[in-house]
Amino acid sequence: MIVHATHLSSVLGNYKLLIWSALLLVVTSIAWQTINSWYRLRHVKGPFIAGFSNLWLIRHVSGSTMHLDLAEVCEKYGRVHASSLFSQNKSLIQTTTGSIARVGHDTLVTSDPNLMRRMLAVRTPYKRSDWYDGMRLDPSRDNVLSERNDEKHNELRAKMAAGYSGKEVENLEKTIDRNVFNLVQLIEKKYLSTESDFKPCDFGRKAQYFTLDVISDVAFGEAFGDIATDSDVHEYIKTTEETLPAIIMTTVLPWLLWLLSSPLLKSLLPSEKDQLGLGKVMGIAKQVVGERFGRNKKIQNDMLGSFIRHGLTQKEAESETLVQILAGSDTTATAIRATLLHLITSPRVLSTLLAEIRKAAPSSPITDSEAKEMPYLQAVIKEGLRIFPPVTGLMSKVVPPGGDTFNDIFLPEGTKIGYCAWGIFRNKEIFGEDVNVFRPERWLEDFNPVEKIRERELTLELIFGYGRWQCLGKNVAMIELNKVFVELLRRFELEIVDPTKPWHSFNVGIFMQSEMWLRASKRDEIL
């Protein structure tokens, strides 16, 4: 018995030793990885916790002011460098660029437009990071937003470029005109206030009803009907607001996607069988695409028709149609809301724009070509995009093998570098000391040297991405912006109901905005 007890004690002792050895090995490994992670980026400053983990990122991505938090980090910790670039006419433009700061154990963020252009250039060696995995609306399938393989991404873009450009979309401008008219009609019929009748309008919602109807009408020939019913027909907006924070969290923690793909949790994801929300929109996309590939193929000269003619498969078409809705409505709606808010709260700017509309006397509705000939309108649109960039997600890229050196800062290979929109577009060296003021004149040659305006325009291009990853929907978005402000302002006098609380806005990479209560009254005469 004593022998057996001794043997058992020895076995237990060895077992405990193995456990403690394994634990020590794990702790040592984690400690080594943590120290190594800190060491490789020790020369780039940032919040203390960001040197050892992604906790800072997780905390701020899950908040509602991510755009401001990233700008604050760049301002507080970043290193500013003087640099230069050449304009299209080869003249040298001197500029002080933005900064680079650390926000995660392997992640930096930059407010430097030159570094952004370097990473986004057509022949860049930089690649998309695993941030983009979070853009998979279906965790098992990539789309043009999430595809990280350059060759596959280029193939997808090539199949869709003609459709997004509008070249193969029948009556593209007239389709947008129809939806602008519907928005105007909605306000005239339901939300016109008089001295005795107050009918406030939540323009935060109406703006997205409008952009959802435009993109669905342009994409597959039939609007959702949000404006017609004055409602979030499929509860797309509601469910997007509820799920977007979780979606953005997967961009910081990509392993969550693998968890969501498991049979146990997949049932919690939106499904095409859902009656409402994103799942309902998925079902609509599948149904519409199915009609184009069925036995009696439905042929239409819309975006979807163009995609199919250029080789998009049925599964690809389903996925990309859904991406169109998501990417084409939220961001354009933000641009419309923010620009209009700044317009109607800037009496001098509004007065100048109204004078230009009166003098130009454009068609009703204004054509895209007429809008492009109105310099102050174009300056207003540029300034609206600058002062409130609609997309503020990190969209990080990966430093190529061998690393890179930018303005004397070494960037080790494998490092992720994200985008700080608020920092870029409020850079005083580029846009002037009054960067927090809505002042369209900064874009006009009468007020600034041509070289300075060109520098600003080169920087503003980053709003829609740049180079290899430029936004495919830019053309449609710009046509909407060229029309909507003129058609609203020439008919209505618009006022913020409560200037102390103009809207409810939260940011998790893109903005969700509502409760933008306006008082609309009819002008004495249409401009």
pLDDT in tens, 180-201: 999 999 999 999 999 999 999 9
The string of pLDDT tens digits covering residues 244-258 is: 888 888 888 887 777
471 a known binding residue? yes
Q: Number of folded domains in the chain?
A: 1
3-state helix, strand, coil in the chain (%, to 5): 55, 10, 35
Share of the chain above pLDDT 90, in %: 58
Q: What is the pTM of this model?
A: 0.89
The string of pLDDT tens digits covering residues 126-176 is: 999 999 998 887 777 889 999 999 999 999 999 999 999 888 888 899 999
User: Lowest-confidence range among 268-277, 386-395, 513-522?
Assistant: 268-277
For residue 20, name the pLDDT band (cuts at 50, 70, 90): low
Which CA distances in Å does 484 have to 41, 350, 491, 510? Answer: 46, 14, 11, 21
425 lies in some domain: yes
Can you give the residue range of the structural domain that contains 268? Answer: 41-522
15 lies in some domain: no
Which CA distances in Å does 432 have to 338, 447, 463? Answer: 20, 12, 18
Chain centre distance of CA 33: 33
28 lies in some domain: no
149 half-sphere exposure, CB direction, 13 A CA radius: 7
316 lies in some domain: yes
Question: Which one, of 100, 91, 146, lies nearest residue 119 by Cα?
Answer: 100
pLDDT at 475 over 50: yes
* Helix ranges (DSSP H) in 145-295: 150-165, 172-190, 203-220, 226-229, 236-252, 255-260, 263-266, 277-293
Report how far residue 154's alpha carbon sits from residue 144's, in angstroms, rounded to the nearest whole number: 9
8 lies in some domain: no
CATH number of the domain where residue 48 is located: 1.10.630.10
Residue 396 · residue 422 · CB < 8 Å: no
The string of pLDDT tens digits covering residues 255-287 is: 777 776 666 656 666 666 776 667 777 788 888
18 lies in some domain: no
What's phi and psi for 235, nearest 5 deg?
55, 30
Residue with tokens 């009748």: 197
**What tokens were used for 251?**
């961009």
Residue 305 · residue 292 · CB < 8 Å: yes
Report how far residue 421's alpha carbon sits from residue 189's, in angstroms, rounded to the nearest whole number: 38
Chain centre distance of CA 457: 19
* Helix ranges (DSSP H) in 253-374: 255-260, 263-266, 277-293, 303-309, 314-344, 347-360, 368-372
21 lies in some domain: no
Q: Which DSSP symbol is given to 262?
A: S
Instruction: Annotate 51-89 with DSSP letters as a single string.
Output: GT-SHHHHHHHTSSBHHHHHHHHHHHH----EEEEE-TT
Looking at residues 110-130, what average pLDDT do you find? 95
27 lies in some domain: no
Report how far residue 269's alpha carbon sits from residue 255's, in angstroms, rounded to the nearest whole number: 16
Residue 463 · residue 434 · CB < 8 Å: no
